[in-house]
Amino acid sequence: MAEAETRHGIGVSPGAASGPVVQVRPPVRPPAGEPAPADPEAALTEVKAAFEAVAQDLEARAATADDTAQQILTATALIARDKGLAKAAGRLLAAGSGPTSAVDGAVEEYAAQFTALGGYFAERVTDLRDVGNRTIAHLLGVPPPGIPEFHEPSVVVAEDLAPAETATLDRALVVGIVTESGGRTSHTAILAAQMGIPAVVQVHGATEIPVGTPVAVDGDAGSVTIDPTEAFVAELVTKRERRERALASTSGPGTTRDGHAVALLANIGGVEDAVAAGPQDVEGVGLFRTEFVFLSADTAPTVAEQTEIYRQVFEPFAGRRVVVRTLDAGADKPLAFADLGPEENPALGRRGLRLSAERPELLDAQLEALARAAKETGADVRVMAPMVATAEEAAWFARRVRENGLPKAGVMIEVPGAALRSEHVLAEVDFGSLGTNDLAQYTMAADRLQGELSDLLDPWQPAVLDLIAAACAGAATTGRPMGVCGESGGDPLLALVLTGLGVSSLSMAPSKVAMVRFALSLHTFPQCQRLAAIARSARTAADALAAVHAAVAPDLASLV
């Protein structure tokens, strides 16, 4: 490779580091065509012994681990000793499965149950499968899946790390973590952040990087650079120091240098996110995605069940605003209890508010639960609908929201039609929020899920900025506030442009708030308006970014 190649993922634990790659051993699968055991009873004894050995190994590691790791390892050991698991394996052995296939089958039976329960339980499936994989390796007499021994400071790369692996990482030797899957709330993310190891998740192709290749990990920017130069690594470290100093220099509500307020809010997708974001320096939640309440359920969750979940989400934000997006499901994220059947073009089909129109009882139950939880917690709850295209839809939604006793109704502006007619759409409601990811998808006619089209989906596309400008102009006529809750809001340069276009709140991953706050604090509102004009006059997305980068305060330009 002549030039250093950089790959992007999601930074989940800040910091910069570099070192050679260590690839984690993938799990061993049961051998194909494993014969039935001659004596199922004896095989079960063998399987039980393997489960016990795995439990003891996990406990031995728990003994030397710190508090959090100890809890996770002890709980995982309990799974290995679970009688139900052994019983299920015994049943499969008696039915003619080989020992490792029986272990795998037993694990998958429980995994299916837990996946169906959803939420917290679905996340435990990783722990369960880890127990299964370790037991299979033990039965086959091969080394357990996981991190091979290494002796120099290295970057650990894996598909995803099991909690047992993350928990026992040697901090002195593991300088960075890169995973191909995993998410912001995975064990890997939580433990890496706790241990102060820079980590990036969802890095495409990470497991194909050859062992020993030097890489630089930027846990702030969420990037991994393969074969970096020494100068690059040095720059990464100083940049990080400068960034830390800059971020520490501002706090509190977002405002431009001349005092124009821009509320800085968090995007959250569940109770864990809410608990994590609550203590942070944010003015509230700008986007609470409620899908998790519905997607994993077999039957529609009751009002009481939903109220309890919403209460837990709102509680950390008592006295602050929480903008809730009502159920956003469709043919691509079908609900077990409200499946309207397959569609040719799910992104253009009956999703978001259109699904709520077909099944209004689902929306009413959700609104009732939200109203109850709002009353119990004292959070300033505002509700908005996804996929609104017309003023009639906005009016229909607002009426239902108010009938359920919620004071504020809003709409997502993500359909170009609604952006162009925002004056009429917003006249029906109290606020608007630009979902820039979907707005880009619909403006550029490019599928969000198709990676090859990512250039078209660039939030700097001048056409998308034009639509945002139109939506903000319409909002201004009505006097209704317009926010942004798509990814654009967390980009410090784009945040300035959006502010200049008239956006009055920005919602983003909580980790991005500090940089956006810093960017705002360096610029006046007229400067933001000028940056917006510069971006819109550019011919291409790349030109828009470059021109804005060249025009912002040098203290910001040197950091991004």
Binding site for other proteins (CB under 8 A): 71, 74-75, 78-79, 82-85, 110, 113-114, 117, 120-121, 124, 128, 308
Task: Tell the smallest beta-carbon distance from residue 191 to other proteins (Å).
Answer: 15
3-state secondary structure string, 300-368?
CCCHHHHHHHHHHHHHHHCCCEEEEECCCCECCECCCCCCCCCCCCHHHCCCCHHHHHHCHHHHHHHHH
Q: Please state, in angstroms and rounded to a whole number, the distance separating the CA atoms of residues 513 and 516.
A: 5
What are the start-end ranges of the E strands in 152-294? 154-158, 174-179, 199-201, 214-218, 223-226, 263-268, 284-289
Pairing of strands 174-179, 199-201: parallel
Considering the complex, state which of residue 110 and residue 442 has its C-beta at the smaller distance from other proteins: 110
Q: Please state, in angstroms and rounded to a whole number, the distance separating the CA atoms of residues 107 and 162.
A: 15
SS3 of residue 61 by DSSP: helix
DSSP 396-463: HHHHHHHHTT-SEEEEEE-SHHHHHTHHHHHTTSSEEEE-HHHHHHHHHT--TT-GGGTTTT-TT-HH
Please work out, in degrees rounded to the nearest 5, the angle formed at the alpha carbon of residue 409 by the alpha carbons of 396 and 497. 115
Task: Tell the smallest beta-carbon distance from residue 120 to other proteins (Å).
Answer: 6
What tokens does 396 get? 């229909």
Task: Tell the smallest beta-carbon distance from residue 75 to other proteins (Å).
Answer: 5
Task: Tell the smallest beta-carbon distance from residue 253 to other proteins (Å).
Answer: 30
The answer to whether 406 and 373 are in contact (CB under 8 A) is no
At 23, the amino acid letter reads Q
Task: Tell the smallest beta-carbon distance from residue 10 to other proteins (Å).
Answer: 24
Of the candidates 363, 381, 283, which has an alpha carbon nearest to the alpha carbon of residue 324? 381
Task: Tell the smallest beta-carbon distance from residue 312 to other proteins (Å).
Answer: 8
Task: Tell the smallest beta-carbon distance from residue 19 to other proteins (Å).
Answer: 34
Considering the complex, state which of residue 305 and residue 364 has its C-beta at the smaller distance from other proteins: 305
Considering the complex, state which of residue 83 and residue 539 has its C-beta at the smaller distance from other proteins: 83
What CA–CA distances, in Å, run from 70 to 52, 80, 122, 135, 527?
Answer: 18, 15, 21, 20, 52
Considering the complex, state which of residue 79 and residue 178 has its C-beta at the smaller distance from other proteins: 79
Task: Tell the smallest beta-carbon distance from residue 136 to other proteins (Å).
Answer: 18
Considering the complex, state which of residue 74 and residue 213 has its C-beta at the smaller distance from other proteins: 74
Considering the complex, state which of residue 124 and residue 325 has its C-beta at the smaller distance from other proteins: 124
Considering the complex, state which of residue 336 and residue 533 has its C-beta at the smaller distance from other proteins: 336
Considering the complex, state which of residue 186 and residue 207 has its C-beta at the smaller distance from other proteins: 186
What tokens does 487 get? 């990814």
Considering the complex, state which of residue 317 and residue 442 has its C-beta at the smaller distance from other proteins: 317
Considering the complex, state which of residue 109 and residue 159 has its C-beta at the smaller distance from other proteins: 109
Burial grade of 15 (CB within 10 A; 0-12, 13-18, 19 or more): buried
Task: Tell the smallest beta-carbon distance from residue 18 to other proteins (Å).
Answer: 36
Task: Tell the smallest beta-carbon distance from residue 272 to other proteins (Å).
Answer: 10
Please name the helix (run of DSSP H) or strand (run of DSSP E) that holds residue 393, with its range, or none: helix 391-403
Of the candidates 18, 501, 482, which has an alpha carbon nearest to the alpha carbon of residue 213? 18
Residue 25 DSSP label:
B
Q: Which of 8, 138, 151, 187 is catalytic?
A: 187
Task: Tell the smallest beta-carbon distance from residue 39 to other proteins (Å).
Answer: 26
CA atoms within 13 A on the CB side of 141: 1
**Residue 51: which residues within 8 A CB-CB, separation 6 or more?**
80, 81, 85, 86, 103, 131, 135
Q: How far apart are the first and last CA of the chain?
A: 25
Q: Please state, in angstroms and rounded to a whole number, the distance separating the CA atoms of residues 88 and 95.
A: 11
The answer to whether 528 is a known catalytic residue is no
Of the candidates 431, 472, 476, which has an alpha carbon nearest to the alpha carbon of residue 321? 431
Considering the complex, state which of residue 124 and residue 138 has its C-beta at the smaller distance from other proteins: 124
Q: What are phi and psi of 153, to 5 degrees?
A: -55, 125
Q: Which of 138, 485, 523, 528 is catalytic?
A: 485
Q: Please state, in angstroms and rounded to a whole number, the distance separating the CA atoms of residues 438 and 59.
A: 47
Q: Please state, in angstroms and rounded to a whole number, the distance separating the CA atoms of residues 146 and 137.
A: 11
The answer to whether 443 and 423 are in contact (CB under 8 A) is no
Hey, which residues does 434 pair with through a beta bridge?
413, 484
Residue 264 DSSP label:
E
The answer to whether 151 is a known catalytic residue is no
Q: Which positions are catalytic?
A: 187, 485
